[in-house]
Amino acid sequence: APPAIIAPSILSADFGNLGHECSRTISQGADWLHVDIMDGHFVPNLTFGPPVVVKIRSHVAKPTEAYGKGTFDCHMMIAEPKKWVKEFKNAGCDLYCFHYEAATSSAAESPEAISELKTSPRELIRYIHDNGMLAGIAIKPGTSVDVLWEILESPDAKDRPDMVLVMTVEPGFGGQKFMASCLPKVEALRTRYPDLNIEVDGGLGPGTIDQAADAGANVIVAGSAVFGAKDPAEVIALLREAVDK
Ligand code: DX5
Ligand code: ZN
> Which are the contacts of 146, defined by CB distance < 8 A and separation ≥ 6?
none
Judge if ipTM > 0.95: yes
Candidate from 26-40, 114-128, 138-152, 184-198 with smallest mean pLDDT: 114-128
Question: Any idea what the Cα angle at residue 81 is, between residues 157 and 189, rounded to 5°?
Answer: 45
> What confidence tens digit (pLDDT) does each residue in 81-118 have?
999 999 999 999 999 999 999 998 544 455 555 555 67
Binding-site annotation: residue ranges for substrate:
9, 75, 172-175, 203, 223-224
Mean pLDDT to the nearest integer, 120-137: 97
**Any idea which of 49-53, 75-79, 113-117 has the lowest mean pLDDT?**
113-117
Strands (E), 105-226: 134-139, 163-167, 197-201, 219-222
pLDDT computed for residue 110 by the predictor: 54
* Amino acid (one-letter) located at 164: V
Nearest to 103 by CA among 147, 163, 45, 134: 147
What residue type is assigned to position 233 of the chain? A
Q: Dump pLDDT digits (tens) for 154-163.
A: 999 999 999 9
From 94, 100, 91, select the one nearest 122 (Cα to Cα). Answer: 100
Q: Which of 208, 224, 226, 235 to mutate to test the pocket of ligand 1 (most atoms within 8 A of CB)?
A: 224
Catalytic site residue 201? yes
State which ligand 1 atom lies nearest to the alpha carbon of 45.
6
